[in-house]
Amino acid sequence: MFEYLTPRSLATPQDVAEYLELHQAAQDFRLELEHRARLEDYCHWYHQVAAANRRDLEQMRSELNLLSWFNRSLPR
């Protein structure tokens, strides 16, 4: 009934080493997942910005270029 009150045996050095290795592997895995998630978010943002820039470029190409009139009048 009160088994949780009895003192537990101390872990062996092999148990501690195994625990630390598992903990390090879990940390590495978590960091890798976070890195991949941030990279995916960045790639998604980059593609959105690139698409917006392409749309803006096409719109600017279709507009009348008033500055070209001023450039024609400059002596060369």
Q: How confident is the model over 44-54, as pLDDT tens digits?
A: 999 999 999 99
Pair of tokens at residue 52: 């917006």
**Rounded Cα–Cα distance for residues 8 and 19 (Å):** 17
Angle made by CA atoms 45, 48, 51, in degrees to the nearest 5 = 150
The pTM for the full model equals 0.62
Q: How confident is the model over 35-74, as pLDDT tens digits?
A: 999 999 999 999 999 999 999 999 998 888 777 777 766 5
